[in-house]
């Protein structure tokens, strides 16, 4: 390896260190930090100064071409289900049907289903009154219900589109989104079962936790009578996933020139699927529940406020990826990684895991890891199925060892009333189990595809 190659590898490592220092120590927003780290790589690699901003614009534009629309539509969809009360009704129905003895299984399933369209922290805050109500009714440890709920949300957040993490990584790696949905669903259910209800019962027997005094007023018993029915909510959640899967199946089964194939490809595109789902949800609110047009529009507008930040950080991750590619760092790292003989999925997992532990944010670690892996895709020579599984492996790596630099750690700490030590023993162990289990599932699936 030439001195220039060693310099480029060292430059990439230094840029990640700079990124982490800017986010964790200097406390600069991830958007600005990613842009500054990208510029550092460009300057250090000898890229002409006049071309750097062109690379920045190219990386931002190519990443957000479709991802921005998908994240925006997904945010609207989730917000409408939240405001309508459909999310709370779904969770209440699941736990009521299963009964108190199996309610922890219901909370895991509720977290998984609700976590597909709704962001992690928003969904948890919406449903946390349910685990408070169950704890008061049964007198059992709050962790028996809290851990399954958190596991369901965490699994959906990392592995199932239209959540921003898997959507963004899929776009950066060029993965088939239908395969990502398929493998994400296959991975999510067994991982949620192991790390949610099973681990939740295990840890609840060893740590009895009651509702914290400062959260007693948050407990609620039931959803509004005017909220959408369970069947309606489940149907709306599954609608975009089924349309996207139809897209993938039609590519594999039908002739390219078939009119039916063209139609299924059109409606199964992620943007088309989410437009159809948003329109169906608007119809439900306007016609079946007589919600005024102005209120529906206000809900959609409010949904875009937090989404804007996510979109910009996602685009900045694309800039980082583009800079690594244009500077030639990707080719050098690809050659170096090829000599390690690490399985590709393990490589993606480890890169995301290291960034997660050091930096904290699961989304940023997924984006950064994808930015480092994307330039290596040619040298790794992954087919469509393995590229989709790489998305799962990176999601798994971004989940492990959540600790004090992760906002999710403190969200759980506060709402469950845990000490830092007990949060590490429960939440952190659960997150690590999810990440490792997802890696194992991805490797198992790889044996059959």
pLDDT digits (tens, 9 = 90+) for 394-429: 999 999 988 766 767 777 887 788 887 888 899 999
Q: In residues, how long is the chain?
A: 449
What per-residue confidence (pLDDT) applies to 220? Answer: 45
Phi, psi of 174, rounded to the nearest 5 degrees: 75, 30
Render pLDDT for 68-121 as a digit per residue (tens, 0 to 9): 787 788 778 777 877 777 767 776 777 777 777 788 898 898 888 878 776 676
Assigned token pair, 203 = 């840890």
Phi, psi of 295, rounded to the nearest 5 degrees: -70, -40
What per-residue confidence (pLDDT) applies to 306? Answer: 66
Cα–Cα distance measured from residue 71 to residue 319, given in angstroms and rounded to the nearest whole number: 18
Give the range among 38-42, 137-141, 280-284, 357-361 with minimum mean pLDDT: 357-361
Give 46's contacts (C-beta < 8 A, 6+ positions apart): 327
CB atoms within 10 A of CB 28: 16
CB 101 within 8 A of CB 139: no
Average pLDDT of the residues in 121-147: 79
Question: How many structural domains does the chain have?
Answer: 1
Q: Which domain holds residue 194?
A: 3-446
**For the residues of 87-118, what is the DSSP string, one character each?**
HHHHHHHHHHHH-GGGHHHHHHHHHHHHHTTS
């Amino acid at each position: 390896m030439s001195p220039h190659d060693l310099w480029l590898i060292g430059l990439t490592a230094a840029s990640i260190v700079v990124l982490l220092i800017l986010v964790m120590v200097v406390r600069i927003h991830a958007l600005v930090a990613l842009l500054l780290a990208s510029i550092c790589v460009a300057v250090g690699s000898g890229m002409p100064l006049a071309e750097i901003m062109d690379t920045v614009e190219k990386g931002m534009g190519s990443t957000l071409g479709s991802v921005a629309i998908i994240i925006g539509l997904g945010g609207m969809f989730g917000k409408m289900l939240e405001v309508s009360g459909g999310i709370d009704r779904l969770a209440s129905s699941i736990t009521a049907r299963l009964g108190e003895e199996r309610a922890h299984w219901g909370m895991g399933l509720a977290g998984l289903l609700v976590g597909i369209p709704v962001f992690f922290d928003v969904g948890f805050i919406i449903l946390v009154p349910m685990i408070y109500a169950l704890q008061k009714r049964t007198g059992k440890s709050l962790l028996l219900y809290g851990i399954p709920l958190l596991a369901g949300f965490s699994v959906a957040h990392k592995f199932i589109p239209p959540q921003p993490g898997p959507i963004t990584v899929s776009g950066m790696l060029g993965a088939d989104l239908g395969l990502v949905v398929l493998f994400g669903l296959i991975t999510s259910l067994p991982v949620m079962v192991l790390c949610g209800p099973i681990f939740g019962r295990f840890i609840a027997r060893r740590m009895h936790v009651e509702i914290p005094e400062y959260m007693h007023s948050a407990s609620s018993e039931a959803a509004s009578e005017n909220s959408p029915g369970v069947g309606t909510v489940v149907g709306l959640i599954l609608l975009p996933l089924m349309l996207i899967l139809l897209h993938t199946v039609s590519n594999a089964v039908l002739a390219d020139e078939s009119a039916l194939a063209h139609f299924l490809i059109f409606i199964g595109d992620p943007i088309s699927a989410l437009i159809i789902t948003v329109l169906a949800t608007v119809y439900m609110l306007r016609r079946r529940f007589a919600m005024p047009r102005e209120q529906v529009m206000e809900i959609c507008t409010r949904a875009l406020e937090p989404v804007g930040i996510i979109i910009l950080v996602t685009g900045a991750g694309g800039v980082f990826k583009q800079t690594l590619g244009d500077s030639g760092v990707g080719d050098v790292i690809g050659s170096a990684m090829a000599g390690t003989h690490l399985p590709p999925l393990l490589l993606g997992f480890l890169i995301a895991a290291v960034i997660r532990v050091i930096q904290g944010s699961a989304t940023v670690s997924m984006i950064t890891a994808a930015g480092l892996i994307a330039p290596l895709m040619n040298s790794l020579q992954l087919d469509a199925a393995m590229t989709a599984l790489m998305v799962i492996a990176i999601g798994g790596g971004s989940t492990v060892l959540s600790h004090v630099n992760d906002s999710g750690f403190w969200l759980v700490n506060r709402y469950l009333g845990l000490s830092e030590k007990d949060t590490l023993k429960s939440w952190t162990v659960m997150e690590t189990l999810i990440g490792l289990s997802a890696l194992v599932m991805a490797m198992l699936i790889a044996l059959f595809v």
